[in-house]
Amino acid sequence: MYGIDVSSYQQDLDVSTLNVDFVIFKATEGLGYVDSTFDKFSTDCRKSGKLFGFYHFARENDPKAEAQFFYETCKGLIGYGLPVLDYETTNENDVEWCESFAWEFHELSGMFPVLYMSASMCATFDGSWLANYVPLWVAGYPYAKAYYSFDAAPEFPYSIAPWDSCIMWQFTSNMYLDTYASRLDADVAYISREQWVDLANGDDTMTDEQIEKIAAACASYVWQGSAYDKENNLNMYNCAHWTYEYVLKLYAEVTAMQETVKILAEGKGADPEQIMKAVTDAVTKRLKELKIEVH
């Protein structure tokens, strides 16, 4: 499929006249900017039946706050179009910023945004869980393309590891269309219309295994530390830290219970170890009845 991405620079564009499969338009930027053409393009795309996406242009603010602003502005489009994080700002090597934004948006909407960035930035995300769960839209202009070649997509020349593949490629900013005089950013999608709709519907529900992998990545921020500022209350660190503190609290409670049993048993002349074993065996038996495996 072929499409374009637009913003207020193309405010005079009528998407219904375009011979393209999809349109991706700018929605928000930073913490307070809403693109002046957001309502126009979202309405025109839905009326014309075109596939569409809507993007947030990242700035250098708290990523959780930016994700919340994007979601609150665009929540009426969730389930209809593809949300996108456009990441090309001055903190462009801040992988944790993107992780925090994506996770917060997922918490709010139930789906991860597509991540848009230059092909040259992909390698900086090596080791990030984003490569396994967040669809990628790559930008790179190796050819002087000014017109679509509808018989075949241009050959993709980039290495995008750690991603195995991308769902879209913005391959030129120099495209002409018959019904529009100015040049446009143009894209090719490597997914079908049905797959686009599935992604827009949020059909990226995580499996237990995927959740465990992300939880492990979160935990690494606590156990190993991270380069980003933990005092910014980023969501990923807070989730992991809360879990860690909760485990410590449970451990303290169990230890206190054991001490209490020991004191009571010794006061009655009983063996505290036998009492604790009896309690543990009874609890284990009940958990197994509930199909909860104990290790």
CATH topology of domain 2-205: TIM Barrel (3.20.20)
**What is the rounded radius of gyration, in angstroms, for the C-alpha atoms of the chain?**
25
- Check if the beta carbon of residue 26 is closer than 8 Å to that of residue 35: yes
* DSSP H or E segment with residue 137: strand 136-139
What is the C-alpha to C-alpha distance for residues 74 and 76, in angstroms, rounded to an integer?
5
Write down the domain spans for the chain: 2-205, 218-289
Q: Which residues pair with 234 in a beta bridge?
A: none
Of 87, 98, 26, the closest CA to residue 55 belongs to 26
What is the C-alpha to C-alpha distance for residues 256 and 250, in angstroms, rounded to an integer?
10
- Check if the beta carbon of residue 9 is closer than 8 Å to that of residue 16: no
pLDDT tens track for 71-110:
999 999 999 999 999 998 876 678 889 999 999 999 899 8
- Check if the beta carbon of residue 280 is closer than 8 Å to that of residue 272: no
Q: Which residues pair with 53 in a beta bridge?
A: 24, 82
Output the pLDDT for position 89: 82
pLDDT tens track for 103-118:
999 989 989 999 999 9
How large is the angle between the packed helices 63-74 and 95-109, nearest 10 degrees?
Answer: 40
Measure the CA dihedral 174/180/182/187, to 10°: -30
pLDDT tens track for 179-232:
777 888 889 999 999 999 999 987 555 556 666 666 666 666 555 555 444 444
Whether the full predicted model's pTM is greater than 0.85, yes or no, is no
